[in-house]
A and B are shown apart, each in its own frame.
Chain A
Amino acid sequence: MRRSSRFWATSGGLAALLALLCALPFLVALYRLDILIFMLINVILAVSYRFLTLAGEYSLGHVVMMGVGAYGSALATKEAGFPVWVAAPLAAAFTGLIAFVLAFPLFRMKGFYFLIGSFAAGEAIRLSWNRFRDPFGGPGGISFIPSPEIPLPVLGTVDLSADPRAYYFLCLAVVIATIVIFYRLERSRFGLTLHAIHWKDVLAESVGVHIWWYKTFALVLASAFAGLAGALLGHYLGTVNPVQFNLHIMLFVLVWVIVGGTRTIAGPILGVAVLTIVDQGLRGLDEWRPLFYGAILILTVMFLPHGLESLPRRAAEWWQAIRSRRRPPVSEDEEPPESDRPPPRDA
């Protein structure tokens, strides 16, 4: 079967993007490489968060789940002596387990109540890190967390945290794996059922879909990946503390996802990437930065209510309008075109 030109264009674009991402560490200054590493970790966080929103619920506890992974991996390496390569997946699995336990009370709620419930559950966990100095270190957290090491035959042991380029490629690999897993899941029967639950949960239940299990699985999986992101963060910084996982940071995740858009997996990735660049671009403004950052967010939401991911379509519409000498559509509030809607269950 012949591949369509769109397939080849997409594949070419992705290959070029991957090549660029692989070349970036050799092109940028060391401190900018750190920005890229944290950006990649945030991509895992935002993409996993979007997966949770597919089931129709917005959580305020996702960053705390990241913290569970960070603390879990830190304790597993520092106190139990596990190597990072074992501790990080274990911490991710433990985060999933915590999410599973939380699912019992949380999914008795919906919408706004779920939002508040997830915030309360997250704060309960976060404040326990603050409260119990043993083993969580209290407000100061845990420091001197071991970093991932690779034993090489000739070179000896390579400390990845000491080499930002190596850590960047580790994070990049995890990001690619995360995106592929969530992309495939969303396109699978499971993902389509999540879409159905999002849009018509009562109808889905009436045809035999066990909503609780689907939502719980989404929460567990999203939380496990958030935990993995937390482990990556903790082992790179060498320190974790409760402030890193508070509501302030959660609001950033919401902003990334909303500004980027939630219709496709590209939305949150775009949100993280663009807003990280904007944040860095405004650095020279010091204390005035939040003002500009806020203004940019307001303008984005005003002109691109479906997020940055809708920008190519909007640009194409404007271009088409210019070419055909007619006005572009004024409002984005109208019903999205067929191509932007979630795929039907039988697709």
Chain B
Amino acid sequence: MAKKGFTRRQFTGTAAAAAGAVAASSFGAPYVARGAEKVVKLGFLGPLTGEVAGWALPGRNACLIWADQVNAAGGIKIGDDNYMVEIVSYDNEYLTDKSLIGAKKLVLEDEVKLVLMLGGTDAPAAVQFFTKQKMLSTTLLPSDLTPDTLYHLAPAEVHPLYNVTGVEWLAENRPELKTAAICAQDDELGWPSVATYLAAFEAAGIDVVYNKYFDIATTDFAPVVTAMLAENPDIVCLDTAYPDFVNLLCEQLFLQDYKGQIISCTLDFYGRIIEKTSTEFLEGLIFQFPDFDDPAMNEPHINFENPNEFFVNYNERFPDAWSAVTWEYPAIAEMWRLAAEKAGSVEPMDVFAALKEGGRGPHVFGDADWWGEELWGIDNALVGNWPVVQIQNGKATIVEYRNIIDWWNKHGELLKKHTAEQG
């Protein structure tokens, strides 16, 4: 009688074949240096797997595209040499111990010249090691910065400081909006962001009629939205909620027939939100992260090579995966390239000096100041212009670039007060 089902041998064979195919495709991806070409390695230390991978993997993939573009253009010009770029990544699973292992591997074994990190809870041990090794490293979360993290930079994002630009723009362009309701997840991303929004609303003369945290394990946002809407706010602020939370909150706002203004830090995968709601519902929503095919990304002050082409390439290779952080890692890598060419060296301390020269640096949205001592005790965050982005006809559109430091100079005390109150 013929055997039915799946035998162990068949299972093993099929699994091995599938594993081999996947391994082959994955091993083939990175750039491989040829012959006597000079190669400079940049490290990527972040969660490529697990719950937080959404804030690192798209960025790592974008770095691969950036490296391909740089290499296709002849590499990085250092003196008389052209260096090809290789991205070496290490999945730290967003764990402190794996981060330290990865940090040592990248620095001591791979001899990378820069380490790109997401930052957050996985960072402290690795950053302490980088500091001892005089290794240049970067974070997307400036809260990682301390007076001791000498060579750790936040050159792309100053979360949540830039959120003030969206509120300020809203207050100027829609002065009829007088009240706001804020909901935020109860974690280290939510708290400082709430403090920032509270300060920004107070500076703009907007009353906050509702401000509550929801638990990070929340899955049903109907009660959260109902409680907010009960206060009849002109603006609903989604703070810096995780992408899934933003998605579910928008869906609930739509289901509960909210027709007012929405403001959010991020709006990842907004196409999917439109599919669940409608183009009309999302129209006018304000957030802070642009698509790189935006015409305003071609303005002369932008420090990013061919942003439109980069956006197209990314979407071709990784369809439907563009998110808030996608461009930030390659933007940092591009900034590093400019500084290395200026320094005439790829050595971390030479590039660090070139980056910090004159107290200004080439931020992706325009030249900006190294700043941060008042908040983090060290001027290692690059702060300048940040775009205010609005959904217009179902598409993210930059409506204006605003200067973060201008706002800080006028209202910095408010932010300090609310930061202290939020603990």
Contact = CB atoms under 8 A, between A and B. Distances in A.
A323 interface: no
A29 B91 contact: no
A240 to B, nearest CB: 8
A286 B49 CA distance: 8
A244 B96 CA distance: 7
A133 B423 contact: yes
Contacts of B8: 302-303
Contacts of A295: 15, 19
A29 B108 contact: yes
Contact of A237 (B27, B53, B97, B186): B97
Given A29-B108, A133-B423, A238 B23 contact: no
A290 B125 contact: no
B101 A287 contact: no
Contacts of B423: 133
Interface in B1-50: 8, 11-12, 15, 19, 22-23, 26-27, 48-50
Contacts of B121: 139-141, 241, 243
A248 B121 CA distance: 15
Given A133-B423, A139-B188, A290-B49, A38 B91 contact: no
Interface residues of B, number: 39
Interface string A1-43: 0000000000000000000000000000111001100100000
A38 B94 contact: no
Interface string A285-299: 111111110010011
Interface in B58-93: 60, 89-91
B104 A34 contact: yes
A31 B26 contact: no
Contacts of B105: 31
Nearest to A248: B50
B101 A29 contact: no
A233 B122 CA distance: 14
A30 B125 contact: no
Contacts, number: 90
Contacts of A34: 97, 100-101, 104
B188 A244 contact: no
A283 interface: yes
A303 B57 CA distance: 34
B124 interface: yes
A133 to B, nearest CB: 6
A173 B206 CA distance: 62
Contacts of A141: 121
B12 A237 contact: no
Given A139-B121, A295-B19, A287 B97 contact: no
Q: Output the residue of B121, B143, B187 with the most chain A CB within 10 A.
A: B121
A143 interface: yes
A30 B108 contact: yes
B128 interface: yes
Interface in B96-123: 96-97, 100-101, 104-105, 108-109, 121-122
B353 interface: no
Interface in B321-374: none
Contacts of B94: 243
A151 interface: no
B15 A287 contact: no
B255 interface: no
Contacts of A283: 90-91
A284 interface: yes
A345 to B, nearest CB: 38
B38 to A, nearest CB: 23
Contacts of A299: 12, 15
A140 B188 contact: yes
Contacts of B50: 248
Interface in A139-195: 139-141, 143
Given A31-B105, A138-B188, A239 B96 contact: yes
Given A140-B121, A238-B124, A248-B50, A292 B91 contact: no
Contact of A285 (B11, B15, B26, B108): B26
B100 A237 contact: yes
Interface in A258-313: 283-292, 295, 298-299, 302-303
A241 B96 contact: yes
Contacts of B57: 287
Contacts of B188: 138-140
Contacts of B96: 237, 239-241, 243-244
Contacts of A31: 101, 104-105, 108-109
B124 A239 contact: yes
Q: Output the residue of A138, A243, A289 with the most chain B CB within 10 A.
A: A243
Contacts of A130: 187
Q: Output the residue of A240, A283, A302 with the most chain B CB within 10 A.
A: A283
A285 to B, nearest CB: 5
Nearest to A41: B97
A120 to B, nearest CB: 13
B375 interface: no
Nearest to A243: B121
B125 A237 contact: yes
B97 A38 contact: yes
Nearest to B187: A139
A289 B420 CA distance: 42
Which 6 A-B residue pairs are closest in the complex by CB-CB distance? Answer: A31-B104, A139-B188, A239-B124, A31-B105, A237-B125, A241-B121
Interface of A: 29-31, 34-35, 38, 130-131, 133, 138-141, 143, 233, 237-241, 243-244, 248-249, 283-292, 295, 298-299, 302-303
9 contacts: A30-B108, A31-B104, A31-B105, A140-B121, A233-B97, A237-B97, A287-B49, A288-B22, A292-B23
Given A29-B108, A244-B97, 15 more contacts: A30-B104, A31-B105, A130-B187, A138-B188, A140-B121, A237-B96, A237-B124, A243-B95, A243-B96, A244-B95, A285-B23, A286-B26, A286-B91, A287-B48, A287-B49
